[in-house]
Amino acid sequence: MKISGFKYLANQGIENIWKNKMMAFATFCVLLISLLLVGGSALFYFNMNSMILGLGNQNEIAVYLDPATEADRVKAIQTELGEMDNIDSVEYISKEEAYNRMQNQIQQGKAIFSYIDSYEFMPDGFKVTVVSNDRIEETTAAIGSIEEVESASSSPQVAEFLRELRKVVSVIAIAVIVALSAVSMIMISNTTKASVFARREEIQIMKYVGATNSFIRTPFFVEGMVTGFFAGAGAFFITWAVYRAIFRILMEQGTLMRAFGVGSIIPFDKIQLWVALAYLVVGALVGALGSVVSTRKHIDV
């Protein structure tokens, strides 16, 4: 096919949208709703995931050193910890601070402290937070292997629970997304079929005058792609508006909501490029393929 031929067919595709505006509008709406359903579910899933991860990052490793460790060595260990893999932050807790904390915690038996004249028996320690909660056990073990470290402990149960929660959320989210995608494909397929059916005679005439299948399909491909692209753009702007509104409302909530991980909701600015790309590409592809596949039935004359 010559370039001028392709240009003609592409123009035909765009003209067809206008000429068959009612059917094009129906296809646009169905694509828009489908994209919003699937896109919304995906964004909900990503945010749940991010929130669970955020909760996990609050999990800490408590590190205690041998009380006999020299002050220089303590400093060296702090640096060493800071350079280790999967470590987010390292907070030094001195013997004195640990002693004071212990005093505050044991309110009722305060008398016992009158027999203790020094905090030297207390170990130096660190409060370590991790980057990935999934690897907290591995990180705890690595810290434990440092010679002066007497104990390094985390709550793997919390990590385990969060891991399980993520798994369940992932399975449910993927099932919902797959189901919605399937429903969307059926809706899109039926709409494009109806759109093509309305023009089956046109297709037959083209066949009788000797048009090749690609000649017939190209305008349908362009038409579906352009409709899908606009549906993608529409879906993006709706998502943008709704997402930002919800984000703002949740961020205005108090600390209680933050405790549930609301602070980990992904700001739209961070993902808008990917969301736009996904909507536009998926919209255009599904629109084009749906349209072309639907011509197959009528093209065989």
Partner 1 sequence: MVELQNVSVTYSSGVDALNNVSLKINDGDFAFVVGSSGAGKSTMIKLLLKEIDATSGVVTVNGYNLGKLKKRKIPEFRRTLGFVFQDFRLIPSMTVYENIAFVLRVIDAPLKYIRKRVPYVISLVGLHSKTNSYPDELSGGEKQRVAIARALVNDPQLIIADEPTGNIDPELSYEIVELLKGINDQGTTILMVTHEHDLVRHFGGRIINITGGEIVFDEVITGAEQILPEEELAQAMSEAAAMANQNGIIIPDRRIMTPDGEYAGSDLNGGAGQ
3 vs 111, which CB is nearer to partner 1? Answer: 3
9 vs 48, which CB is nearer to partner 1? Answer: 9
Q: How far is the CB of 196 from partner 1 (least distance, A)?
A: 14
146 vs 211, which CB is nearer to partner 1? Answer: 211
- Name residue, tokens 């370590």: 128
Q: How far is the CB of 199 from partner 1 (least distance, A)?
A: 9
Strand intervals (E) in the chain: 60-65, 87-93, 125-130, 149-153
**How many residues interact with partner 1 (rule CB under 8 A)?**
21
Answer for which of 186, 212, 237, 296 binds partner 1 (CB under 8 A) is 212
CA angle 198, 199, 204 (to 5 degrees): 135
Answer for which of 111, 115, 145, 210 binds partner 1 (CB under 8 A) is 210
Q: How far is the CB of 290 from partner 1 (least distance, A)?
A: 21
Site string for partner 1, 176-205 (x = CB under 8 A): -------------------------xx-xx
CA distance 195 to 21: 10
CA distance 226 to 213: 20
CA distance 276 to 285: 14
Q: Restricting to residues 5-64, which ones interact with partner 1 according to CB under 8 A?
A: 5, 8, 16, 19-20
Answer for which of 51, 55, 87, 206 binds partner 1 (CB under 8 A) is 206
Q: How far is the CB of 266 from partner 1 (least distance, A)?
A: 46
**Window of 50-58, 175-183, 210-218, 269-277 that interacts with partner 1 by CB under 8 A:** 210-218
Question: Nearest-CA neighbor of 148 among 91, 234, 258, 65?
Answer: 65
- Side chain identity, residue 59: N
- Side chain identity, residue 294: S
Q: How far is the CB of 226 from partner 1 (least distance, A)?
A: 17
The contacts found for 154-159 with CB under 8 angstroms, 24 or more apart, are 154/59, 154/60, 154/61, 154/62, 155/59, 158/56, 158/59, 159/56, 159/59, 159/133, 159/134
Site string for partner 1, 106-145 (x = CB under 8 A): ----------------------------------------
Phi and psi of 65, rounded to 5°?
-100, 165
Q: List residues binding partner 1 (CB under 8 A).
A: 1-2, 4-5, 8, 16, 19-20, 201-202, 204-212, 215, 301
